[in-house]
Amino acid sequence: MLTVAWKNNSVVLIDQTKLPNKLVYVSCKDYKEVADMIRKLVVRGAPAIGVTAAFGLALAAQQSKAKTLLDLMRDLDSAFKVLQSTRPTAVNLFWALERVIGKGMRAKTVQEAKRAVLNEALKMAEEDIETNRKIGAHGLKLLKDGDNVLTHCNAGSLATVAYGTALGVIRAARESGKRLSVIATETRPVMQGSRLTAFELLHDGIDVSLITDTAVGHMMAMGAINHVIVGADRVLHTGHVFNKIGTYQVAILANKHNVPFYVAAPLSTFDFESNPDDVIIEDRSVDEVVKVGKKRIAPKGVRIFNPAFDMTPPELITGIITQKGVLKPPFEKNLKALLG
Ligand code: MRU
């Protein structure tokens, strides 16, 4: 079961807005549809968004009627702009689009460029699974038999092509014979924890319990959690981590209760240029806050803030699990060493 795939010249996605009640797939033949799917959270999670956008560009190449390389690059550039405007925080989106269009730019003919763009997107989809397995192999060493691991949002199979980053570590630990229990926060307001994390872990037979976001402090104070592992939408070279709203407060609570707080992320999620103030935190629709399902749960006229991400500073992070190993503080210095 792949979250994102290229089949019969279309991009096929699991419709995550329908989970956990229905497991249905949507198929897109137009890059504008792909952009719409990213915007509406049909596909979400930093690595999955990146690969989907890459396939979106491959569709744009396929759709183009251009006869010259210059015209094809103009078409790809328009698609690039539409796709990159879908979501602002996860850096994988921009990384993937740059990587794919770069391949097109180096081609010598229209046909070669079309092929190169698709091949690069397919390669990225394969690499994503391999990378997650490597993250899992490094991360599993941090866990021991019987651990209770809290995760926030969904950094699983559904947030990647398959296997997951934070949940990839859990899967790898499980495959190595360690028995673990996962505690998933529901992750208001879009409920990625209850709808997606609980769904995919139950689907794979991994022990999972669901708690409200507000129960984290209590559970830690009771000694019911001995590790936190979350994913990331953007990791700065300084070690600042942008992830789903609520991650920061989980990190503060983990620090207060001496619970190790790990972030699992591929190097495609790293941003080597931005500083904390440069990163745009996506502001999403107020409807996500004032409604539960179709039912309104707040009075009309109340002011709403709905930031979708927050920033966890490096001093609250025990380590960042990447495909090349586990980065420990000081992150900026150790990142340079890790990358050689
Ligand atoms: O708004 P979303 O659902 O796209 O946010 C997803 C997250 O914040 C995930 O934790 C993050 O992308 C890591 S996914 C491996």
Residue 1 confidence (pLDDT): 84
Which of the following is catalytic: 15, 233, 278, 283?
233
Predicted structure pTM score: 0.97
For residue 166, which atom of ligand 1 is closest to its CA?
A: 15
User: Probe ligand 1: pick from 44, 160, 248, max atoms within 8 Å of CB?
Assistant: 44
CA distance 100 to 56: 10
- CATH 3.40.50.10470 in the chain, residue ranges: 139-338
CA of 308 to the centre of ligand 1 (A): 9
CA distance 5 to 270: 24
Looking at domain 4-133, which of 1.10.10.10, 1.20.120.420, 1.25.40.10, 3.20.20.70 is its CATH number? 1.20.120.420
Q: Is 165 in the pocket of ligand 1 (CB under 6 A)?
A: yes
CA distance 101 to 192: 31
Distance set, CA 99 to CA 58, 73, 323 (Å): 12, 14, 19
Q: Is 323 in the pocket of ligand 1 (CB under 6 A)?
A: no
CA of 154 to the centre of ligand 1 (A): 6
H or E stretch covering 270: strand 270-271
For residue 244, which atom of ligand 1 is closest to its CA?
A: 8
The closest alpha carbon to 212, from 234, 227, 199, 193, belongs to 193
User: Probe ligand 1: pick from 51, 86, 154, max atoms within 8 Å of CB?
Assistant: 154
Contacts of 258 (CB under 8 A, 6+ apart): none
User: Probe ligand 1: pick from 94, 163, 192, 194, max atoms within 8 Å of CB?
Assistant: 192
If one counts every other C-beta atom within 10 angstroms of the C-beta of residue 188, the result is 17
Q: Where are the alpha helices (DSSP H) in the chain?
A: 31-39, 46-63, 69-84, 92-105, 110-139, 166-175, 198-203, 216-221, 247-256, 287-290, 331-339
Catalytic status, residue 233: yes
- CATH 1.20.120.420 in the chain, residue ranges: 4-133
Confirm if 169 and 132 have CB atoms less than 8 A apart. Answer: no
CA distance 337 to 16: 38
pLDDT tens string, the chain, 340 residues long: the values are 899 999 999 999 999 999 999 999 999 999 999 999 999 999 999 999 999 999 999 999 999 999 999 999 999 999 999 999 999 999 999 999 999 999 999 999 999 999 999 999 999 999 999 999 999 999 999 999 999 999 999 999 999 999 999 999 999 999 999 999 999 999 999 999 999 999 999 999 999 999 999 999 999 999 999 999 999 999 999 999 999 999 999 999 999 999 999 999 999 999 999 999 999 999 999 999 999 988 999 999 999 999 999 999 999 999 999 999 999 999 999 999 999 8
> What CATH number is given for 139-338 in this structure?
3.40.50.10470
Identity of the amino acid at 254: A
Q: Which residue lies with its CA nearest to atom 6 of ligand 1?
A: 45
Confirm if 263 and 320 have CB atoms less than 8 A apart. Answer: yes
Q: Is 10 in the pocket of ligand 1 (CB under 6 A)?
A: no
CA of 89 to the centre of ligand 1 (A): 10
Q: Is 91 in the pocket of ligand 1 (CB under 6 A)?
A: no
